Amino acid sequence: MRVEGPETKIARDLLAHYDVHARRLPWRAPPGTNAADPYRVWLSEVMLQQTTVAAVGPYFARFTERWPDVAALAAADDADLMAAWAGLGYYARARNLLACARAVARDHGGRFPDTEAGLRALPGVGAYTAAAVAAIAFGRRAVVVDANVERVVARLFAIATPLPAARPAIRDAADRITPDARAGDFAQAMMDLGATVCTPRNPACGICPLRSDCAAFATADPAIFPVRPAKRAKPHRTGHGWWIERDGHVWLVRRPDTGLLGGMRGLPSSDWGDAPDATPPVAADWRTLADPVRHVFTHFSLSLTMHHAHVGDDVTPDGAGEWWPVARIGDAGLPTLFARAAQAVRREQDARN
């Protein structure tokens, strides 16, 4: 008779816990069924990259309602898809999502590759997402390592090497505890555990099904794992934005495909930096909002000073853009910064009337 090693016990205990406590999420097959749809798994995984379950929920519902399968998504209009993604952030994901759907439709007969390597070759699918889809949608044994798994594993084995140097050791340890069967459930169970029990701060070790096998639980402070490097301070930038209104319409531009907010609609704005040029795009009787719109991006914070004016029917700003109905500004698919800038301008206009 085979003696069960500690690695096997971890998977067994975790799966038993998962069978009772698994979160019910829209992209998961209902309990007792085995019907994970690769399209929905892939879509959810891309949306969940660096994004919380709560934020993804409504987007996932809207996307699957509007584009129920990969063929429908592949046929989507680029601007429609970018607008539907607005507010979710990391907009390169939306561009890659469309490129991936089209690659699946064109190069794979409309079916997702069912191997980790095949998935990994698709746009926007990295090591994590390829492993997750292979395991969850196709039942493959794959080592799925996201930030949750990283934290759980670093604690289970009390890995004290700081990130990112600890990644190879964490990956090896995750490989050792990943079972041959139910690798998809195991991955989701690890992520559920990280999200609800083995949290970054104040982990709930008292209710953790793995505490008897957890090296960090045996220490004074389990929460110190994984050890993270200190972060650099965010620089602050300033900029100017312009709300140009003409006969109930506002002038919107499309941002370049690469870089910050790439491919998204936006309000015309200056460069953002230490002392940006504040020359307006058109001559007009400009009014300036007293309070700049403040916004925090991943690697800098921004104060955007908003200017607004009405122009005559014969005026059109230089460069590419479109007059968008002010009453439908909510449908323009503005990323959050510009949505808030628009809101600030309209509030000011309302207050003056």
Residues that bind DNA (CB under 7 A): 23, 25, 27-28, 44-45, 48-55, 86-92, 96, 123-130, 132, 146-148, 151, 164, 188, 191-192, 194-195, 200-202, 228, 230-231, 259-262, 295-299, 335-337
Closest separation in Å from C-beta 311 to DNA: 27
Both tokens of 77, joined, read 């209009």
State the number of CA atoms in the 13 A half-sphere of 61 facing the CB.
7
Nearest CB to DNA, comparing residues 286 and 297? 297
Nearest CB to DNA, comparing residues 51 and 219? 51
**Residue 126 forms beta bridges with which residues?**
none
Closest separation in Å from C-beta 313 to DNA: 32
Closest separation in Å from C-beta 82 to DNA: 11
Selected catalytic residue, list 4, 7, 45, 245:
45
- In this structure, the strands spanning 287-288 and 301-310 are antiparallel
Answer yes or no: 4 catalytic: no
Dihedral sign for Cα 201, 205, 207, 212, please.
positive
Nearest CB to DNA, comparing residues 299 and 352? 299
Nearest CB to DNA, comparing residues 216 and 309? 216
Closest separation in Å from C-beta 286 to DNA: 25
Nearest CB to DNA, comparing residues 60 and 284? 60
Closest separation in Å from C-beta 213 to DNA: 21
Query: What are the C-alpha distances in Å from 172 to residues 61, 153, 157, 178, 242?
Result: 36, 10, 11, 10, 52
3-state per-residue secondary structure call for the chain = CCCCCHHHHHHHHHHHHHHHHCCCCCCCCCCCCCCCCHHHHHHHHHHCCCCCHHHHHHHHHHHHHHCCCHHHHHCCCHHHHHHHHCCCCCCHHHHHHHHHHHHHHHHCCCCCCCCHHHHHCCCCCCHHHHHHHHHHHHCCCCCCCCHHHHHHHHHHCCCCCCCCCCHHHHHHHHHHHCCCCCHHHHHHHHHHHHHHCCCCCCCCHHHCCCHHHCCCCCCCCHHHCCCCCCCCCCCEEEEEEEEEEECCEEEEEECCCCCCCCCCEECCECCCECCCCCCCCCCCCCEECCCCEEEECCCCEEEEEEEEEECCCCCCCCCCCEEEEHHHHHHCCCCHHHHHHHHHHHHHHHHHC
Closest separation in Å from C-beta 231 to DNA: 5
Nearest CB to DNA, comparing residues 188 and 305? 188
Both tokens of 131, joined, read 């492993």
Nearest CB to DNA, comparing residues 215 and 223? 223
Closest separation in Å from C-beta 137 to DNA: 12
Known catalytic residues are 45
